[in-house]
Amino acid sequence: MQLTLKRIAGLISILLFLVACTAPKSREEVFGLLNLDRPGLEEVKSHCEKKQWAEASEALLGYYRTRQGIYIPGQESRTASSRDSLWAADAMQHTFHVLADTVWNYGKDINWEYWPVKDIEMRVQLHRHGWWYSLGRMYCTSGDEKYAAEYVDEFRDWVKKNPYKPFGVDQNGTVSSGSLDVNSPNECFAWRPLEIGIRLLRWCTHFSLFLDSPQFTPEFLLEFLQSYHQNASVLMRSFSPSGNHLIHQSSGVIRAGICFPEFKDAESWVKAGVDNLKAEISRQSYPDGCHFELDPGYHIGVVESYDDAIQVAVDNGRLDLFPAEVLEQLVRMASYYQDYCYPDWTHPCFSDARRHDDLASPELLKDISGYCDSPQARQILWFATEGREGEAPSYKSSGHPDTGFYAFRDGWYDANIIMPVKATERGMWHAQPDFGTFELWAYGKILMPDAGAYVYSGDTEIERQRAYFKATARHNALTLDDRNYDAPKPKVLAWQPDAGRGVQRLVVEHEAYEGLTRRRSISFVKEKYFEIVDEVSGPASGRLTLRNGFGRGALERISEGEYVYRDGCAGLSISITGPKGSVISVDTDWFSEAMHEKSERPVLRIDLDRASGAGPQRFVTVLRPFYIPKDN
């Protein structure tokens, strides 16, 4: 009987919550969300007590327009860039830049369910409203009310056409964890918890940019506050169980609580977000600072999300929310990223990373360098300021044998040659079966880019393309019958940043396939060239193929096994040899550095039929970067 009553009480509380989340609120109810005893809200409270809702709304708008002591991130970034100008002009026509490289027109009467290419990422990112920043900055720069009017119209349209509906377990619990089926109902895309978290982060900046506009009426203020509160309330009940999504969501509720302390729920949002971040830092990163997704984009994205949460606390006098262990681990994560970061602030496209998305910046690394006083923190500051502040690292090439990222380099922000290497365990969904693969940067160009990811997830065609780019055979790797590697259990046989005679060396090994052990040795000689030795052993037989993929430049055959690749002022001479019977040829394949964009590239391959009973077999590749003074 007791259990039954408990269940009924539970059901009633869930129903009340759902009603609270879904039903439009009267003005009175919106004021009920606020702590009217907060200093500065005396006039609002007085009007509310007299049920003078119009006057109370006016007073509340006046309060927010003159509010002191609350800093909203981005509130001072009011100057529009040329990109903002383009994005805002397009937004006026309902052509939304959902992703930097994805632009669709959603119609005069906006169709928030328009989705011509069934990649989940295109559908969900629409609901993050990234282009509203551009409308805001164009408004602040030009003072033209049309931008504010457009923002208000689009905000209201989105709220009207994308009502929250609980989805709970009807999608097998996958909405909360981030995975979606292409046939899911609209609310699963619009109200996926990650998108809610990102709206909480972004909407308050939009709020600050448009707040002084006459379009931002007292009525609109109440609509905004109601929707903002609804987003935070829904998220508090639907946090992802773990993963990078939870970090963004936690940062979202922290910002909501700190930037809108007038809400009665504000402190509970802050506490929930901080508790999540404290728990997740050790779950989502290894002791050496590597992020568990094994993806440079996610790695720095999570660091940035932590920094978002911490900076809003710092700027509002609340750094004490975060313990030293969290701040010190973020320094380790930033240092780990610095090790493979290129001088142009891009990173290798390993796993799902894209070349120009989710990047570090000098500002981000400067923030992180202030979190503690350690050699790593001082070195991060040195890198971020190109040597003007901080302390130069005592090393150039770096290795993290516990997790598997390495980088050979001849310098830092002034490097001419960098080879990041990924020799990690398989990892999870974002990672690829690419053990021992590498990129090669030389003289300002990525001469050997990773094939990238091209797409995320979606319908059958999208999944087919994802599998293609993810495959081992798209990487600088040695395959057997073009199959993907088994889950590797990597062994680090040697990591010698100084192996003598000017040689730096990495030797790793894995059971690439059942019956085939592959050992890859990479030597960086006198900081000038690389010698890569791939050796296979074991009873397996089949076609062995070693591939080396290049970028947008041209590959020219010089003689048997000798090639030259040129891209602008940067070049690479390549020498490749294999066991007797090997056949060298040039293929054409694809690589991708941005979502849904791909470029053709030459791939140098060497094939060998490995007979049953063959002993160890070796392939040797020498890569020698050079600089061409004139672009010829």
- Least distance in angstroms from the C-beta of 510 to Mg ion: 16
* Annotation marks residue 298 as catalytic: yes
Residue 618 tokens, joined: 């070796």
- Cα Rg for the chain, rounded, in angstroms? 27
Measured from the CB atom, the residue of 310 and 431 that comes closer to Mg ion is 431
Give 100-105 contacts, CB < 8 A, sequence gap 24+.
100/356, 100/357, 100/594, 101/594, 101/595, 101/596, 101/597, 102/595, 102/596
Residues forming beta bridges with residue 291, ordered by sequence position = 285
Query: Contact, 599 vs 532, CB < 8 A?
Result: no
- Least distance in angstroms from the C-beta of 625 to Mg ion: 21
- Least distance in angstroms from the C-beta of 351 to Mg ion: 6
- Name residues whose C-beta falls within 8 Å of residue 301's C-beta, 6 or more positions apart in sequence: 244, 358
Query: Contact, 451 vs 603, CB < 8 A?
Result: no
Measured from the CB atom, the residue of 450 and 511 that comes closer to Mg ion is 450
Q: What is the DSSP letter of 630?
A: S
Measured from the CB atom, the residue of 155 and 441 that comes closer to Mg ion is 441
Residue 345 tokens, joined: 């602030």
- Least distance in angstroms from the C-beta of 445 to Mg ion: 19
Instruction: Give the burial string for 250-283 (b: 16+ CB within 10 Å, else e).
Output: bbbbbbbbbbbbbbebbeebbebbbebbeebbee
Measured from the CB atom, the residue of 207 and 298 that comes closer to Mg ion is 298
For residue 19, count other CB atoms closer than 10 A to its CB.
Answer: 9
Tell me how far apart the alpha carbons of residues 23 and 227 are, in angstroms, rounded to a whole number. Answer: 11
Of 369, 230, 251, give the one whose Cα is nearest residue 313: 251
Measured in Å, how far apart are the chain's first and last C-alpha atoms? 86
- Least distance in angstroms from the C-beta of 591 to Mg ion: 9
* Residue whose structure tokens are 């790695």: 299
- In the complex, the residues that contact Mg ion under the rule CB under 5 A are 432, 450
For residue 125, count other CB atoms closer than 10 A to its CB.
Answer: 21
Cα dihedral: 52, 58, 60, 64 (round 10): 180
Minimal CB distance residue for Mg ion: 450
Of 449, 381, 456, give the one whose Cα is nearest residue 413: 381
Measured from the CB atom, the residue of 110 and 604 that comes closer to Mg ion is 604
Measured from the CB atom, the residue of 197 and 449 that comes closer to Mg ion is 449
- Least distance in angstroms from the C-beta of 434 to Mg ion: 5
Measured from the CB atom, the residue of 221 and 546 that comes closer to Mg ion is 546
Tell me how far apart the alpha carbons of residues 583 and 607 are, in angstroms, rounded to a whole number. Answer: 5
- Least distance in angstroms from the C-beta of 461 to Mg ion: 20
Tell me how far apart the alpha carbons of residues 289 and 274 are, in angstroms, rounded to a whole number. Answer: 20
CA-to-CA dists, residue 392 to 388, 406, 411, 412, 442, angstroms: 10, 19, 11, 9, 22
Which residue is catalytic, options 106, 139, 164, 298?
298
* Residue whose structure tokens are 């900081």: 527
* Residue whose structure tokens are 């089926």: 181
- Least distance in angstroms from the C-beta of 432 to Mg ion: 5
Residue 469 tokens, joined: 């780019």
Measured from the CB atom, the residue of 110 and 546 that comes closer to Mg ion is 546
- Least distance in angstroms from the C-beta of 485 to Mg ion: 12
Measured from the CB atom, the residue of 463 and 527 that comes closer to Mg ion is 463
Residues involved in catalysis: 298
